[in-house]
Amino acid sequence: MADGKIKKEKPLAPINPDDVPFALPDGWVWVRLGGICTKVTDGFHNTPRKLKEGAIYVSATHIREQGINWKNCLYVSPEDHAELHKKTYPCRGEILITNRGAGCGTPAIIDIDESFGFQNAALIGFNQTLVSNKYIYNFIIIMRDKIMEEFVNGGLQPMLSNAVYHEKSVCC
């Protein structure tokens, strides 16, 4: 954002025949993941003070392929939570993906309705009546090595770019 203006997103690249790994059944089409997402964002960049109770706060260490480890999650103050949540507002059925550190690229489907904040993860939201979150989750699992190869930078502290969620092709 410069001079108070929101930067216009560039249009997604068309899907070329080289991007298509296989033919689809009738009624299915190839689209860019960014074309079906309602939101793609990452979590908080500053580390809030952790508390013994308060609003739920998840870090990358809580995100596992088997799901989010809510039992061992952290807590933050209502003020920090409000700051965390206003940027991302994660919802049940959306997908968190670790985007920093050793577990980089690990997805998990949000399975609670309670409000929470997160750090060192990206959030992708989409119309779940049009595409199954389990389909997107499995796509990420299957494509993880290729995604990591193309979109991760950094050495000791790998970082997955949000560009992946806009650029990868999926079929729906």
| CATH number given to 30-171 | 3.90.220.20
Domain coordinates in residue numbering, the chain: 30-171
Q: Tell me the helices (H) and strands (E) count for the chain, helix number first.
A: 4, 13
CA dihedral 23, 24, 26, 32 (to 10 degrees): -120
Considering the chain, what percentage of its residues have pLDDT values greater than 90?
26
Tell me the pairing of strands 55-58 and 116-118: parallel
pTM of the entire structure?
0.78
- Which pLDDT score, from 0 to 100, does residue 5 have? 46
pLDDT level of residue 158 (50, 70, 90 thresholds): low
For residue 22, count other CB atoms closer than 10 A to its CB. Answer: 6
* Sequence-distant (≥ 6) Cβ neighbours of residue 18 within 8 angstroms: none
* Sequence-distant (≥ 6) Cβ neighbours of residue 70 within 8 angstroms: 56, 58, 62, 112
User: Reduced to 3 states, what is the DSSP secondary structure of residue 53?
Assistant: coil
Residue pLDDT, tens place only, 50-96: 899 999 999 889 999 999 999 999 999 999 898 888 878 899 999 99
In angstroms and rounded to an integer, the radius of gyration of the C-alpha atoms of the chain is 17
State the burial class of residue 18 (Cβ atoms within 10 Å of its Cβ: 0-12, 13-18, 19+).
exposed
pLDDT at 17 over 50: yes
